[in-house]
Chain A
Amino acid sequence: MNKHSTRNRLNGLAAHVVLLVFAATALAPLLLVLLNSFKSNAGVTGSPFALPKSLSLSNFSTAWEYGAFGSGFLNSVLLTGTTVAVVLLCSSLAGYVLAGQKIRVWPAVMVYLTMAMTVPIQLFVFPLYAGVAALGLLDNVFVVGVILAAINMPFATFLMRTFFLNVPRELEEAARIDGANVLQLIHRVLLPVVRPGLITVGVIVGLSAWNDFLISSTFLHDPSDQTVTLGFLSMNGTFSTQLGAMMAGALILILPVLGVFIALQRYVVDGMAGGAVKG
């Protein structure tokens, strides 16, 4: 018995070592960013592994200014806000109907959404670009927000549907018999049950809109209309010889995203695990 538990403990230790090695692999590049964001260019090129000698913040102000982070953050917030608002509204309505099988064509809608989820961006982006350009809607963060909402819609609808499946049918019927109108039904009965679903879909779709590259870089050319990630990207050419400023810019972009992720990690993890398992 004793021998057995010793072996178990050794196995557990070995497992933790393996897990820690993989955690280190995931984090090492990010730690290099932290380490080098306070250094001068000479400090970085001297040794990327050394600790910074002083905690100078000048790299951060350089990055903020030349990456146009002020307008970039505003544009990213507007774009992401548009995507999340449109996705939450449309996908929850559709998910509600599909979960209750309230329309006869619901299986056809499910098949359509599955197909739409796997349609590559390269299959529609070129005519979409020409159409948006012809309407004079390029360089508009709200238009890009709606496009990203449409791309994320099938996945979000599926996820919302699985959350609505957890609402007991009797609950809805009881509320109706009690004379609740539609607004009261949504506010008092449905919303409390699917609130975790809304947060999950919101944070996953929000992250994908905030992080988007292909669509935003295609539809946003004017520097004053670009998202914060595109502003950071534009530093690459001019600042590839100022690595300290590049790393400071990266850190400015990394910290808020990791902050939101850690605060809402339960919903992200649940959404990823649930979404994939249930198809």
Chain B
Amino acid sequence: MTATATLAPVRTDPTPAADHRARRAHQRRRSLVNHLLVAPALLLSVLVVVVPGVLTAMAAFTDWTGVGFHADYVGLRNFRDILADPVFATALGNNVTWLALFLTAPAAVGLLTAALLLHRRRTRTFYQVLFLMPYVLAPVVNAMVWLSIIYNPNGGVTGALHISSPLADVHGALYAAAAVDMWHYWGFLTVVYLGAMRQTPLEQVEAAVVDGAGTWQVFRHVHLPSIRPTLLLMGVMTVIFSFLAFDYVYLLTQGGPAHGSEVMGTYAYAFAFSAFQFGKAAAVGIIMSFFGLIASCVYTWMSRRQLAS
């Protein structure tokens, strides 16, 4: 009874200083809670990605075998060895080819199909689901399906049509692997481009139609400029992922035959887990990331500009 009696006036008629202190304490507590809410996501990312990433940067200058944690500093030897290796040159060239393929073919198909779906409200979902089916399946499944039933010279489609499997060809293997990856990927671009096109302000489209623009002109002069940020972002992402290509090449060709389809991803992986030269694998990882880092800086800069506007 006495407690409530003394508390009540404090609540209704506080001294300004006490009120200020209480609010400051409350804000500090809220701020602490908010920091704690962000912490798990950041900690996990730092522990799994940043710390091992920094270790990679250090390991690239050592002869680390990956077994135990002993390693000797070797300076730039790993980088010198790799740059002198003709297989690395092949791998880098193949990554550039991969980039050229992915910047053109899937982007063109994605843009065409998205444009065709733009005015098809009823069938839009149906087509998008069909296009995305290869995209949601595992690379292992997709690669094994193509390996056994399409590229297989004994019993596959190439066998039935009496053409030799492109996977066995030194110059064809990379394109054969890229074809499977692009087959599984383009539907994703359709969905992304269509999503962006649908954000085009309706007034702009209507204004163009009133001005007498045809379907193609509306697409060319209204929709295409309005999805420019998305096209750029997907382009940057393509640059990053093209230098990291791994799954489909590893599953379909292991970089063969005779390193013909080797990319930097498979080249690094072989150093680590076949030759136990983690130092060299780390050095290749650094080189791969370098291309990604440039693209990533551009990406960060672009999306920050988007956030600001």
Decide whether A and B are members of one complex: yes
Interface residues of A (CB under 8 A from B): 11, 15-16, 18-19, 22-23, 25-27, 29-30, 32-33, 36, 41, 44-45, 47-49, 86, 89-91, 93-94, 96-98, 102-103, 109-116, 118-131, 134, 146-147, 149-151, 153-154, 157, 207, 210-214, 218, 229-230, 232-233, 236, 240, 243, 246-247, 250, 253-254, 257-258, 261-262, 265-266, 268-269, 272-274, 276-277, 279
**In the complex, which residues 118-132 of chain B have their Cβ closer than 8 Å to any Cβ of chain A?**
120, 123, 125, 127-132
Query: Are the C-beta atoms of B45 and A118 separated by less than 8 Å?
Result: no
Return 21 A-B CB contacts under 8 Å, by A number: A16-B123, A26-B187, A27-B130, A30-B145, A48-B159, A102-B30, A113-B45, A120-B243, A122-B264, A122-B288, A123-B285, A124-B53, A126-B52, A126-B56, A149-B44, A150-B47, A233-B144, A247-B148, A269-B129, A277-B192, A277-B195
Interface residues of B: mostly helix, strand, loop or mixed?
helix
Whether B273 is near chain A, meaning CB under 8 Å from some CB there, is yes
Q: Contacts of B269 on A, CB cut-off 8 Å?
A: 122
- Taking CB atoms and an 8 Å cut-off, the chain B residues in 245-302 that contact chain A are 246-247, 251, 264-265, 268-269, 272-273, 278, 281-282, 284-286, 288-289, 292, 295-296, 299-300, 302
Q: Are B41 and A126 in contact (CB under 8 A)?
A: no
Residues of B within 8 Å of A243, CB to CB, are 148-149, 152, 155
Min distance, Cβ B161 to any Cβ of chain A, angstroms = 10
Determine which of B35, B288, B304 lies in contact with A111 in the assembled complex, contact meaning CB atoms within 8 Å.
B304
Contact of B96 with A by CB under 8 A: no
* A121 and B52 contact, CB distance less than 8 A: no
Tell whether, in the assembled complex, residue B149 and residue A36 are in contact, meaning their CB atoms are under 8 Å apart: yes
Which single member of A125, A258, A268 contacts B52 (CB below 8 Å)?
A125
Q: Which 5 pairs from chain A and chain B are nearest by CB? A: A273-B195, A150-B48, A45-B155, A211-B138, A279-B303
- Extra 4 A-B pairs, beta carbons < 8 Å, given A126-B56, A134-B68, A277-B230: A41-B155, A93-B38, A150-B48, A277-B199
Instruction: Report chain A residues within 8 Å CB of B74.
Output: none
Given A26-B187, A236-B144, A246-B144, are A254 and B34 neighbors across the interface (CB < 8 Å)?
no
Mark each residue of chain B from 39 to 76: 1 if its CB lies under 8 Å from any CB of chain A, else 0: 01110110111111101100100000011110000000
Among B52, B137, B196, the residue within 8 A (CB) of A277 is B196
B278 to A130, Cβ gap below 8 A?
yes
Contact of B136 among A97, A218, A247, A261 (CB under 8 A): A261
Q: Which residues 100-126 of B sit at the A interface, judged by CB distance below 8 A?
A: 109, 112-113, 116-117, 120, 123, 125
Docked complex Cα distance between A94 and B299 (Å): 22
- Which residues of chain B are near A32, meaning CB under 8 Å? 145, 149-150, 157
Per-position binary interface string of chain B over residues 1-43, scored 1 when its CB falls under 8 Å from any chain A CB and 0 otherwise: 0000000000000000000000000000011001101101110
Q: Inside 8 A of B198's CB, which chain A residues have their CB? A: 273
CB-nearest residue of chain B relative to A160?
Answer: B41
Contacts of B142 in A (CB 8 A): 29
Chain A residues whose CB sits within 8 angstroms of the CB of B233 once the complex forms:
276, 279
Chain B: interface residue total (CB-CB under 8 A): 107
* B residues apposed to A, CB below 8 Å: 30-31, 34-35, 37-38, 40-42, 44-45, 47-53, 55-56, 59, 66-69, 109, 112-113, 116-117, 120, 123, 125, 127-134, 136-142, 144-150, 152, 154-157, 159-160, 183, 187-188, 191-192, 194-196, 198-199, 215, 230, 233-234, 237, 240, 243-244, 246-247, 251, 264-265, 268-269, 272-273, 278, 281-282, 284-286, 288-289, 292, 295-296, 299-300, 302-304, 306-307
CB A58 to nearest CB in B, in angstroms, measures 18
> Can you name the residue of chain A whose Cβ is closest to the Cβ of B303?
A279
- Given the known interface contacts A23-B127, A119-B289, A122-B244, the answer about A90 and B44 at a Cβ–Cβ threshold of 8 Å is yes
Are B272 and A126 in contact (CB-based, < 8 A)?
Answer: yes
**From residue A104, how far is it (CB to closest CB) to chain B in Å?**
8
Q: Assess A48 versus B157: contact at CB under 8 Å? Given A91-B41, A118-B299.
A: yes
What is the bound-complex CA distance between A233 and B247, given in angstroms? 13
* Contacts known (A150-B45, A247-B148, A277-B192); A103 close to B31, Cβ less than 8 A: yes
Q: Residues of B contacting A213 with CB < 8 Å?
A: 138-140, 247, 251
A23 to B134, CA, bound (A): 11
* A48 and B160 contacting across the interface, CB-CB below 8 Å: yes
Smallest CB separation, B115 vs chain A (Å): 9
CB-defined contacts of B244 to chain A, threshold 8 Å: 120-122
Q: Does the CB pair B160–A273 fall under 8 Å?
A: no
A96-B210 Cα distance, complex, nearest whole Å: 43
Task: Knowing A98-B38, A150-B47, say if A261 contacts B140 (CB, 8 Å).
Answer: no
Q: Does the CB pair A276–B230 fall under 8 Å?
A: yes
Shortest beta-carbon distance from A51 to chain B in Å = 15
Question: Smallest Cβ distance from A75 to chain B, in angstroms?
Answer: 14
Q: Are A218 and B273 in contact (CB under 8 A)?
A: yes
Provide the residues of chain B in CB contact with A128, threshold 8 Å: 48, 52
